[in-house]
């Protein structure tokens, strides 16, 4: 057997062959099935992009309408799932609530027919349709309210914002939210996608695949960074405090949240689009002082860390966009999950097409031939 060099974090080691998305980290390019994200952000919708990722081609008009129809009419969650979620502690993090709820779907849809295209489609539709409903339901129930029923006359993003805020969203906000979902839907072999593929490779059900990926996405080095960015901007408080704050972090060798990426060595193209969306929201709904702090921060960090290729990543401006829409900070990562579920499902489908269970090796660096010491002699 060939012995490979050990790379912590598997940096640079291919874990799969995939035709779903492509990143050029030097040029700052991200493509879904070969199409640049900037073009999809401008011309597509989240559900159309999800279809593209999962089935490999842009849908025809009829295919898209049929897909949208199916997702629209599967948005309701079972009463027993809602009742289960009611028992969750309101102090719990919404990502934990989402992970538990996604796993619970597997209890209700336990059939595992992985070679049947109809089963694959039903699972994709059910997960895309119900994950936003579960995120919104937990948000309302933890405030002591009953969840609101999905509205069939609203599209995917408008319906989510309606369920979350109990009122019909502004059209620009709903459009911008949909673009945010497009920007977060897929990103090659990141930690949660890897987790999804490992789980998929055991031939378990797609609910377990999504639940394991949600658990992985929640950490502050991955999707959880967007929450921490807002906390950081609030802590900084003013433009004048940015430089000393950054200096202090760097002296302590702490990471600056929302900056840096394993693959991008230039500004993340998603951050550029998100920054533009934030500006559109500020133009309509009023300026945000945290944006001035963020701009100063981008400049100061570039001065100090551009030599290491550290620039804003997707999480730097997304929080400002969601914050301006009135979305609570601890829902930022669940919203990331609402988008990313389509990417995980594309990888689930791709993994099943040529499956081999993940079973890497390890380099054992422990001891050998140690005698067992009875407990009273330790």
Active site (catalytic) residues = 261, 315
Binders of ligand CMC in range 278-317 (CB under 6 A) = 305, 308, 310, 313-315
CA-wise closest residue to 94 among 332, 299, 314, 272: 332
Q: Which residue is nearest to ligand CMC (CB)?
A: 260
Is 257 or 331 the residue whose CB approaches ligand CMC more closely?
Answer: 257
What does the angle CA 133 – CA 226 – CA 42 come to, to the nearest 5 degrees? 70
| 255 is a contact residue toward ligand CMC (CB under 6 A) | yes
Q: Measure Cα distances from 92 to 232, 296, 324, 361 in Å.
A: 21, 34, 24, 36
| 256 is a contact residue toward ligand CMC (CB under 6 A) | yes
| 262 is a contact residue toward ligand CMC (CB under 6 A) | yes
What does the angle CA 161 – CA 237 – CA 248 come to, to the nearest 5 degrees? 120
CB of 223 to ligand CMC, least distance (A): 5
Is 76 or 255 the residue whose CB approaches ligand CMC more closely?
Answer: 255
In this structure, how many other beta carbons lie within 10 angstroms of the beta carbon of residue 325? 19
Is 157 or 313 the residue whose CB approaches ligand CMC more closely?
Answer: 313
Q: Are 48 and 58 in contact (CB under 8 A)?
A: yes
Is 20 or 71 the residue whose CB approaches ligand CMC more closely?
Answer: 20
| 259 is a contact residue toward ligand CMC (CB under 6 A) | yes
CB of 362 to ligand CMC, least distance (A): 20
3 state SS of 312? strand
Contact residue for ligand CMC among 47, 95, 173, 225 (CB under 6 A): 225
What does the angle CA 99 – CA 37 – CA 17 come to, to the nearest 5 degrees? 65
Q: Are 16 and 200 in contact (CB under 8 A)?
A: no
User: What is the Cα–Cα distance from 213 to 340, expressed in whole angstroms?
Assistant: 9
Which residue bears the tokens 């919708």? 45
Extract the tokens encoding 54.
Answer: 């999962």
Run of H or E including 30: strand 29-32
CB of 13 to ligand CMC, least distance (A): 13
Is 132 or 260 the residue whose CB approaches ligand CMC more closely?
Answer: 260
Contact window for ligand CMC (CB under 6 A) among 65-73, 208-216, 256-264, 363-371: 256-264
Binders of ligand CMC in range 180-209 (CB under 6 A) = 190
CB of 269 to ligand CMC, least distance (A): 12
Q: How many residues bind ligand CMC (CB under 6 A)?
A: 20
> In the complex, which residues of this chain contact ligand CMC (CB under 6 A)?
9, 190, 221-223, 225, 255-262, 305, 308, 310, 313-315
């Amino acid at each position: 057997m060939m012995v490979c060099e050990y790379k912590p974090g598997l940096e640079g080691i291919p874990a799969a062959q995939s035709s779903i998305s492509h990143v050029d980290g030097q040029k700052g390019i991200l493509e879904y099935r070969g199409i640049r994200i900037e073009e999809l952000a401008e011309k597509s919708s989240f559900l159309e992009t999800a279809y593209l990722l999962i089935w490999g081609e842009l849908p025809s008009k009829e295919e898209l309408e049929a897909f949208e129809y199916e997702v629209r009419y599967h948005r309701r969650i079972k009463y027993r799932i809602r009742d289960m979620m009611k028992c969750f502690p309101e102090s719990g993090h919404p990502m934990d609530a989402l992970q538990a709820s996604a796993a619970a779907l597997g209890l209700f849809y336990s059939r595992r027919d992985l070679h049947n295209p109809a089963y694959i489609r039903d699972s994709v539709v059910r997960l895309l349709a119900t994950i936003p409903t579960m995120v919104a339901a937990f948000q309302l129930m933890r405030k002591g309210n009953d969840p609101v029923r999905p509205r069939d006359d609203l599209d995917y993003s408008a319906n989510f914002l309606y369920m979350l805020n109990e009122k019909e969203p502004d059209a620009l906000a709903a459009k911008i939210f949909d673009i945010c979902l497009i920007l977060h839907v897929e990103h090659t072999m990141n930690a949660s996608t890897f987790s999804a593929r490992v789980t998929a490779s055991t031939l378990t059900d797609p609910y377990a695949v999504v639940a394991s990926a949600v658990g992985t996405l929640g950490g502050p080095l991955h999707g959880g960074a967007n929450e921490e960015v807002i906390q950081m901007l609030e802590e900084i408080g003013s433009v004048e405090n940015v430089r000393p704050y950054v200096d202090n972090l760097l002296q302590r060798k702490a990471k600056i949240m929302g900056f840096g990426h394993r693959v991008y060595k230039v500004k993340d193209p998603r951050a550029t689009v998100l920054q533009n969306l934030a500006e559109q929201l500020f133009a309509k709904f009023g300026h945000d002082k945290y944006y001035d702090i963020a701009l100063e921060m981008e400049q100061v960090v570039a001065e100090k860390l551009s030599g290491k290729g550290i620039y804003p990543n997707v999480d730097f401006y997304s929080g400002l966009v969601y914050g301006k829409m009135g979305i609570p900070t601890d829902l930022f990562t669940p919203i990331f999950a609402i988008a990313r579920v389509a990417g995980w499902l594309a990888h689930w489908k791709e993994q099943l097409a040529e499956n081999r269970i993940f079973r890497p090796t390890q380099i054992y660096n422990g001891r050998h031939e140690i005698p067992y010491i009875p407990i009273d002699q330790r």
